[in-house]
A = this chain, B = another copy of it.
Amino acid sequence: MIKDFEAERCDCNVLHEDVVKKVKLKMPQYTDMNDLAELFKIFGDTTRINILSALFEEEMCVCDIAYLLNMTQSAISHQLRVLKQARIVKNRKDGKVVFYSLDDEHVKRIIDQGLIHVNENNKGRALNE
């Protein structure tokens, strides 16, 4: 059964077949993992993270975000598009101005967890090195 799954790309031997079997059964589904990587990929960019951390505080329009982050309106607009397609932000239009805000409670929780990790890690680094 594990044999069915095995393939051409792997160039080495199973050393602990029992472990592999057990882990394979417990591991979350492929699709979930792919979606998860996609989600984190979106957070894995300084511009986008900065946009999000700004939106944590308040809804903002494109120009204000661009000004705040000292970046081109176009660059911000492109990134907002990415965030919107991923359903991480939503927008509302008021005349010419488009306001963006967070679309989801989870987002803040994920990022907060990340910040906790980063802070702990920096503490450790400061002590050790």
- Where the two chains meet, the residues of A that have a C-beta atom closer than 8 Å to any C-beta of B are 5-7, 9-16, 19-20, 22-24, 26-28, 32-46, 48-50, 53-54, 57-58, 60-64, 66-74, 87, 97, 104, 106-107, 109-111, 113-122, 124
Question: Contact between B23 and A58 (Cβ–Cβ < 8 Å)?
Answer: yes
Known A45-B41, A72-B10: A115·B36 in contact at CB below 8 Å: yes
- State A7–B66 Cα separation when bound (angstroms): 11
Structural contact, A37 and B33, CB atoms closer than 8 A: no
Bound together, the chains give a CA A68 to CA B67 distance in angstroms of 47
> In the bound complex, what is the Cα–Cα distance between A97 and B48 (angstroms)?
40
Alpha-carbon distance between A73 and B13 when the two chains are bound, in angstroms: 10
Find out whether the CB atom of A73 lies under 8 angstroms from the CB atom of B41.
no
Does A23 lie within 8 Å of B57, measured CB to CB? yes
Which residues of B sit under 8 angstroms from A121, Cβ to Cβ?
35, 87, 104
CA distance A48 to B97 in the complex (A): 40
The answer to whether A64 and B19 touch (CB under 8 A), given A44-B41, A49-B37, is: yes
